[in-house]
Amino acid sequence: MRQGLLVILSGPSGVGKGVLRRKLMKDKELNLAFSVSMTTRPKRPKEQNGKDYFFVTKEEFGRKLKEDGFIEWVEYCDNYYGTPKSFVEENIKAGRNVLLEIDVDGAERVMKKYRGMYTLAIFLMPPSMEELERRIRLRGSESEDEINNRIQKSKEEMEKRSQYDVSLTNYTVNKTALRFKQCVQNRIRYCEQVEKGEKTDPTYIIKRP
């Protein structure tokens, strides 16, 4: 059975990763499993355990850390956030494509570990920095200085897009979802061709008895 892809969706904060992800998850043809992160921070009222995050204690997080159970993890404000390895690897093995929605720093760490044709890294770009600024402001949760610093961070993150397989400009979620789907399907086709020996991929090593 063909293994699934690890599909990394990243891009600056405010670019619309969450909206796109929810749209993509509804498309059954993409056969996507969403990688749910684990965190030690308290659950917020609207959040669901197992859907938004797996909410665990620091002790549980620590146990998983010790057994090398995360693809990547980070400490932020005395809380821990991680991407559980087992979910990703089991689903990929079972032929499902795993969608990882992750910030640019986290994506960089994942890409270092998961290379090759079964990983597809997609960078989501705002139509313009003005548009990104508008979207960040729409959230309305931050001070003017914080917004400016966030925009500056986004600019630096934008410079990392060349590390990705594809950059998509997020004009509208519908168009972006369509192009996203094409990218996934193209990559699946490519993997199939390599597996059949119709193409060669430098990272693909046939494992046969």
Residues interacting with a copy of itself, by CB under 8 A? 57-59, 61-62, 65-66, 75-78, 80, 143-146, 148-149, 152-153
Nearer to a copy of itself, 37 or 176 (CB): 37
Beta carbons within 10 angstroms of residue 55's beta carbon: 17
Nearer to a copy of itself, 143 or 174 (CB): 143
Least Cβ distance, residue 66 to a copy of itself (angstroms): 6
Least Cβ distance, residue 71 to a copy of itself (angstroms): 12
Radius of gyration over alpha carbons of the chain, in Å? 18
Least Cβ distance, residue 37 to a copy of itself (angstroms): 16
Least Cβ distance, residue 145 to a copy of itself (angstroms): 4
What is the DSSP pairing of strand 70-76 with strand 79-84? antiparallel
Nearer to a copy of itself, 109 or 199 (CB): 109
In angstroms, rounded to a whole number, what is the distance separating the alpha carbons of residues 110 and 101?
Answer: 11
Least Cβ distance, residue 149 to a copy of itself (angstroms): 5
Q: How far is CA 92 from CA 73, 161, 176, 179, in A?
A: 20, 25, 24, 22
What contacts 194, CB < 8 A, 6 or more positions away?
117, 200, 201, 204
Nearer to a copy of itself, 27 or 133 (CB): 133
* 61 CB burial (10 A radius; 0-12, 13-18, 19+): buried
Nearer to a copy of itself, 65 or 173 (CB): 65
Q: Give per-residue burial for 156-176: e unless 16+ CB within 10 Å, then b.
A: ebbebbeebebebebeeeeeb
